[in-house]
Amino acid sequence: MGVDTTATPVVKPEPGELGELVRDLCSARRHWMPSGLGNHLHWGPSVSVETTTLSMARCNRLLEHAVSDFTVTVEAGLPLQVLQQELGRTGQWLAVDPPPGEGDSSIGGLVARGISGGLQHRYPGIRDQLIGLSLWRADGVAAKAGGRVVKNVAGYDLMRLFSGSWGSLGLMQTLTLRTYPLPPARCWALVQGPFAELARLRAALLRSSLTPERVDWWSESLARRHRCSDGGAGPLLCIGLASIASQALDDQLAALSRLAPSCLRLEAAEQDPSGSAAAWQPERGGWLLRLGCPGADPVALLDPVSGDPHGLTGGELCWGAATGLADLRLAASVRPAAVADLRRRCRAAGGFLVVLQAPDQAAREAVPSTPPDAVSLAIKAAFDPLKLLSPGRLPGGP
Residues that bind ligand FAD (CB under 6 A): 33-41, 56, 76, 80, 96-100, 105-106, 108-110, 112-113, 115-117, 166-167, 171-172, 290, 327, 356, 390
d(CA 209, CA 153): 32
Residue 44, Ramachandran bin (φ over 0: left; ψ between -120 and 50: alpha; else beta)? left
Q: Between residues 167 and 298, which has the closer beta carbon with respect to ligand FAD? A: 167
SS3 track for 268-312: EECCCCCCCHHHHCCCCCCEEEEEECCCCCHHHHHHHHHCCCCCC
Q: Within 13 Å and on the Cβ side, how many CA atoms surround 88?
A: 7
Instruction: Show the CA angle centred on residue 135, arms to residues 84 and 133, nearest 5°.
Output: 45
The smaller minimum CB distance to ligand FAD, of residues 35 and 252, is found at 35
**Helix, strand or coil for residue 361?**
helix
Q: Which is nearer to ligand FAD, 329 or 345 (CB)?
A: 329
Cβ atoms of 324 and 351 within 8 Å: the answer is yes
Please, which residue, 113 or 380, has the CB nearer to ligand FAD? 113
Question: Which of 39/208 has CB closer to ligand FAD?
Answer: 39
**In whole angstroms, what is the distance from residue 30 CA to residue 17 CA?**
17
Min dist. Cβ of residue 136 to ligand FAD (A): 9
Burial class (CB in 10 A: 0-12, 13-18, 19+), 378: exposed
Least distance from C-beta 273 to ligand FAD, angstroms?
16
Q: In whole angstroms, how close is the CB of 98 to ligand FAD at the nearest point?
A: 6
CB of 127 to ligand FAD, least distance (A): 12
Complex with ligand FAD: residue 81 or 246, whichever CB lies closer? 81
Sheet harboring 352-357: ordered strands across?
Answer: 265-269, 185-192, 236-243, 214-218, 316-320, 325-330, 287-292, 352-357
Question: Shortest Cβ distance from residue 377 to ligand FAD (Å)?
Answer: 18
Residue with Cβ nearer ligand FAD (8 or 35)? 35
First CA to last CA distance, the chain = 13
Q: Minimum distance from CB of 149 to ligand FAD (Å)?
A: 22
CB 356 within 8 A of CB 101: no
Beta carbon of residue 300, minimum distance to ligand FAD (angstroms, whole number): 21
User: Contact 169/383 with Cβ under 8 angstroms?
Assistant: yes
Residue 28 burial (C-beta neighbours within 10 Å; 0-12, 13-18, 19+): exposed
Nearer to ligand FAD, 102 or 308 (CB): 102
Task: Please state the closest distance from residue 88 (CB atom) to ligand FAD, in A.
Answer: 15
